[in-house]
Structure 1
Amino acid sequence: MKNFIQTGNVVPVTAPAGGVVSGGGVIIGSLFGIADHSAVEGAPVQLATRGVFDLPKTSAQAWTLGAKVYWDAANGVATTTASGNSLIGVALAAAANPSAIGRVRLNGVTV
């Protein structure tokens, strides 16, 4: 294929306003990913858009395997609350209430 660029599991982007933190969730338009390193606003950074990650979650939620997971950009956490948040993937393991971390399989794009 002459038009193939890459698999898209990790993509290069420009860090948005405020920059990014290594391992932190980042939304740019409809794209969600995990930053592979810290970068200041305007600097190049790689975002992992697919894969399984342990992410900070809304502590007061219990997650079940396969539950839809959203990104709460205002609080920088994963959540099962859809309203006002962006779909990023599914829970790959149950998570207790309370707990600070949830295991998420990223879906490659926000909705």
Structure 2
Amino acid sequence: MKNYVQKGENLTLTAPYAVTSGGGCKTGLIFGVAAGDAASGETADLVTVGVFDMPKVAANNFAEGAVVYWDDTAKVVTSTASGNTKIGVAVTAAANPSASVPVRLNGTF
């Protein structure tokens, strides 16, 4: 195919804010986990698929397979859909007051 560009699993995009390696980053409607540190305005390599242990709102409960959203203000995952971006599903249950949940990213949202 002459028009094929890439798989899209890893994207090099402009970081809209400072992000550290392993941190979530949302640029436009694209969400990924930073493969390295990047300052705001610098390019960042974002991984858009895979399973990552992500920081969460401690009070949120996630059942295995539950939808996970990104709160771009607090820079954590949440179970609250309103005002947040769907990024994937919880791989295992995570109860209140846990600090993180393993999330399978879905780069097609």
- Give TM class, smaller chain: over 0.9
- Moved segments of 4+, more than 6 Å: none
Task: Name the CA distance, whole Å, in 2 between partners of 1:91 and 1:78.
Answer: 10
Q: 1:52, 1:106 within 8 Å by CA — same for their partners in 2?
A: yes
Residue matched to 1:55: 54
Deviation at 1:19, TM superposition (A): 2.1
1:7-42 CA-to-partner distances (Å, cap 9, x unmatched) read 1011111121x3221111111111111111111122
**Consecutive unaligned residues in structure 1, runs of 5 or more:** none
Which residue identity does 1:39 align to in structure 2? Answer: A
Output the amino acid matched with 1:82: A
Instruction: Provide the rounded CA distance (Å) in 2 between the counterparts of 1:104 and 1:60.
Output: 17
TM-score between both structures, scaled by the size of structure 1: 0.92
Distance 2:84 2:14 in 1: 22
Cα separation, partners in 2 of 1:82 and 1:99, compared to 1, 3 Å: same
TM-score (norm: length of structure 2): 0.94
The residue type equivalent to 2:94 in the other structure is A
AA partner of residue 44 (structure 2)? V
Which residue number corresponds to residue 36 of structure 1? 35
> Retained in 2: the 8 A contact 1:32–1:109?
no
Unaligned runs of 5+ in 2: none
Q: Could you tell me which amino acid in structure 2 is paired with residue 45 of structure 1? A: A
Alpha-carbon offset, residue 47 of structure 1: 0.3
